[in-house]
Structure 1
Amino acid sequence: MFRTVVFTLRNNSTKILDLEKGKSISSKKFDMVNLLRKDGGFNREYVISASPADRDTSHLEESLSMLQNMKEPVPTIFKGSSSSLKITPIPTTLRTRGPEEFMANIRELILPIQNSLAQHKLFPMLNSREAIQVFMQLHVYAVWDSLSMLKCLQKHLTCESVPWVPLDHPEITRLINHLVLLEESDLDWNNKPHSHFEMYLDAMKQMHVDTSNVENFVELIRKGMSVLDAINSTRLEEGVAEYLKTTHEIVSSGKVHVVAGAFAFSREVIIPQIFSQILDQQDWRGNHARLSFYLQRHVDLAGEGFEAASVEMVKTLCGWDKQMWDEANRAAQESLRARNRLFNAIAKQIKLARRVEKIKL
């Protein structure tokens, strides 16, 4: 039985993916030649691939030349010249699990958590002005948190350096820049640019909800305090603090595929469903225009294909690497569970507020 290994050569480095073991190995430019030598005389099949965005393929062809000039019998696995590159497809019979299979696995694993969120006990409770006020006072931290996660993706997936250089995946760059444009400077109900966080604060003020706590939290960060120190210095419900710490851990991982997994499956896929549930509470929808606008805006944006594009982003970043898929999957599940705990905390506070109101009466 042959083992299939994919070599991706980019920026003078080689990324080797062993499909049998389901993990990737980063190595230097010609390490693949040494790997073939150690493999016992080319008794396994290998496939070399190059990124479509890779304009400089000289290092790939140099590697190919070295392979062809070796004394050992080299299997016909790759053909190339100075003007073109031809990639030999991986034989279907030798494939283990590819991006589509990994994606299907993530969807299957997170579906129960997503369904639980979509049917959360919190939503039927949002049938009064008082309940919505409690909801907004705690949920606003998730609005801020979502922007931070998006900015992390922008840092890694778009070119922010000077001088500018093109990146490998322009379709991902376009997606992230478009989302940042909307989240940081969307048009509000007065057709004026505002971030979604600022829109939410305005909606809170229209609802006479105290914004001082979250504004103080953001101000601490603006002055240079770390996120964790700001969390510990701010009076927050436990579910809110856990939610923020979960995202901070994901963002601080330094792994863009991990952040992308959490963003795609716990933000872009689930948020429109959640907001639709809230909007369905007819008792309040017509009376709170700014909050209604904010929620409806996110539902409407779901129809612009961001969900599908975000999922494709994860597929592109993880590729054939099982370890990366596993890490993206764990991040998505952790983020979804943190949101569930956040909603539990909000529901608990609404119940407490109602008990207090009954005592007053």
Structure 2
Amino acid sequence: MELNHHPLPQAILTMADLQLFMEHHVFAVWDFMLLLKALQQQLAPCGVPWVPPSHPQIAGLINTLVGEEECDVLPDSLGGPLHLSHFAIYRRAMGEIGADTTVIDAVLQKAAGGDLASALLHEGIPAPSARFMRRTQALIADGEIHALATAFAYGRELLVPDLFRGLLDRLSVLALPCPTLRWYLERHIALDGESHGPLAESMVLTLAGTDPAAHAQVQSVRQKVHADRAAFWDAINTKLRERTQINRSSSEPSQILCSGLT
């Protein structure tokens, strides 16, 4: 199934459904930053002593991306101007709709202590989110820079705009009160679709160079990250639809009882 036509947005029917989605998806938002920072460490390292980057144009792209992801500005309509990371904005959007941030907060607290491996094993992380992050960490551990760039470009920057358009359209239909989430989605659609996506793709091609083996790996990783994202969304979609069915089933006896009293 093509991800830009995935049925997940249509499974969001209520505010409770949106809460469940965000409680899963927030880990993908964090996962994005883990991947981006892994790229930065290799392509635009900030250690001492400093040495000139091998690919200055790519280093500039990565640093620009990091700057926008770590320190964007909320508009006045959302309480700005206020500088926040996109992750912090997403978490703020969760609080705005009453989504539970207990698990992601605990995971971040653990990771802040320097133990990322233990943080990723937190038992409260939803299984689909944990599987998705494990895939990314496996790529990072392998350390192939063109593979990481491929996961970033084709599994995030070039993919996210279509995924988020579906969500944004669904929120408009439902008219759910979630202004910060709407801004977050619109912001990523604009940034990724207009500039970040094409630049990320050019980064992949530059890093792969003329090496046939590297280009073959790019195609392989591209397929894998698409499959990983599809599996992630499939799992959330299943959870949403199962809950909807349970809610419908639990309401049927009361409906029958009420009809029998009239």
| TM-score of the pair, normalised by structure 2 | 0.88
What do residues 222-267 of structure 1 show as CA deviations (whole Å, max 9, x unaligned)? 122233x323332233321110100000111111111001100110
What displacement does 1:144 show?
0.2
Residues 97 and 177, structure 2, Cα contact 8 Å, conserved in 1: no
Counterpart position of 2:161 = 272
Q: Distance in 2 between matches of 1:121 and 1:303?
A: 21
Q: Judging by fraction of residues, say which structure has more strand.
A: 1
Counterpart position of 2:254 = none
Residue 87 of structure 2 is aligned to residue 170 of structure 1 = no
Q: Distance in 2 between matches of 1:269 and 1:185?
A: 21
Question: Gaps spanning 5+ residues in structure 2: where?
Answer: 252-262
Counterpart position of 2:24 = 138
Residue 140 of structure 2 is aligned to residue 254 of structure 1 = no
Higher RCO, 1 or 2 (CA under 8 Å, sep at least 6)? 2
Letter in 1 for 2:96: Q
Letter in 2 for 1:171: Q
Percentage identity across aligned positions?
30
What displacement does 1:128 show?
2.6
Q: Distance in 1 between matches of 2:116 and 2:176?
A: 39
Counterpart position of 1:195 = 85
Counterpart position of 2:131 = 242
Equivalent residue of 1:305, what SS?
helix
Equivalent residue of 1:280, what SS?
helix
User: In the comparison of the two structures, how many residue pairs are matched?
Assistant: 246
Equivalent residue of 2:47, what SS?
coil
Residue 73 of structure 2 is aligned to residue 184 of structure 1 = no
Residues 24 and 128, structure 2, Cα contact 8 Å, conserved in 1: no
Residue 255 of structure 2 is aligned to residue 349 of structure 1 = no
Q: Distance in 2 between matches of 1:326 and 1:258?
A: 10
What displacement does 1:303 show?
4.4
Counterpart position of 1:333 = 223
Deviant stretches of 4+, over 6 Å: none
Residues 200 and 291, structure 1, Cα contact 8 Å, conserved in 2: yes
Counterpart position of 2:192 = 302
Q: Distance in 1 between matches of 2:194 and 2:52?
A: 25
Counterpart position of 1:8 = none
Q: Aligned in 2, Cα 1:163/1:230: closer, same or farther, shift over 3 Å?
A: closer
Q: Aligned in 2, Cα 1:333/1:255: closer, same or farther, shift over 3 Å?
A: same
Q: Judging by fraction of residues, say which structure has more helix.
A: 2
What displacement does 1:295 show?
0.5
What do residues 149-208 of structure 1 show as CA deviations (whole Å, max 9, x unaligned)? 000111111131223222222111111001000111111242211111111111001110
Q: Aligned in 2, Cα 1:260/1:195: closer, same or farther, shift over 3 Å?
A: same
Residues 121 and 347, structure 1, Cα contact 8 Å, conserved in 2: yes
What do residues 126-157 of structure 1 show as CA deviations (whole Å, max 9, x unaligned)? 24322211110100000000011000111111
Residues 161 and 189, structure 2, Cα contact 8 Å, conserved in 1: yes
Letter in 1 for 2:221: A
Equivalent residue of 2:31, what SS?
helix
Q: Which moved more, 1:143-152 or 1:155-164?
A: 155-164
What displacement does 1:270 show?
0.6
Q: Distance in 2 between matches of 1:232 and 1:127?
A: 31
Q: Distance in 2 between matches of 1:257 and 1:124?
A: 35
- After TM superposition, the structure 1 = structure 2 runs for residues 33-182 of structure 1, keeping only pairs within 5 Å, are 116-182=2-68
Q: Distance in 1 between matches of 2:86 and 2:174?
A: 21
Residues 161 and 188, structure 2, Cα contact 8 Å, conserved in 1: yes
Residue 94 of structure 2 is aligned to residue 204 of structure 1 = yes
Match of 1:230 among 103, 111, 119: 119
Letter in 1 for 2:167: I
What displacement does 1:286 show?
5.9
Q: Distance in 2 between matches of 1:200 and 1:296?
A: 12
Q: Aligned in 2, Cα 1:146/1:196: closer, same or farther, shift over 3 Å?
A: same
Q: Distance in 2 between matches of 1:274 and 1:170?
A: 31
Question: Gaps spanning 5+ residues in structure 1: where?
Answer: 1-114
Equivalent residue of 1:164, what SS?
coil
Q: Distance in 2 between matches of 1:235 and 1:254?
A: 28
Residues 262 and 333, structure 1, Cα contact 8 Å, conserved in 2: no
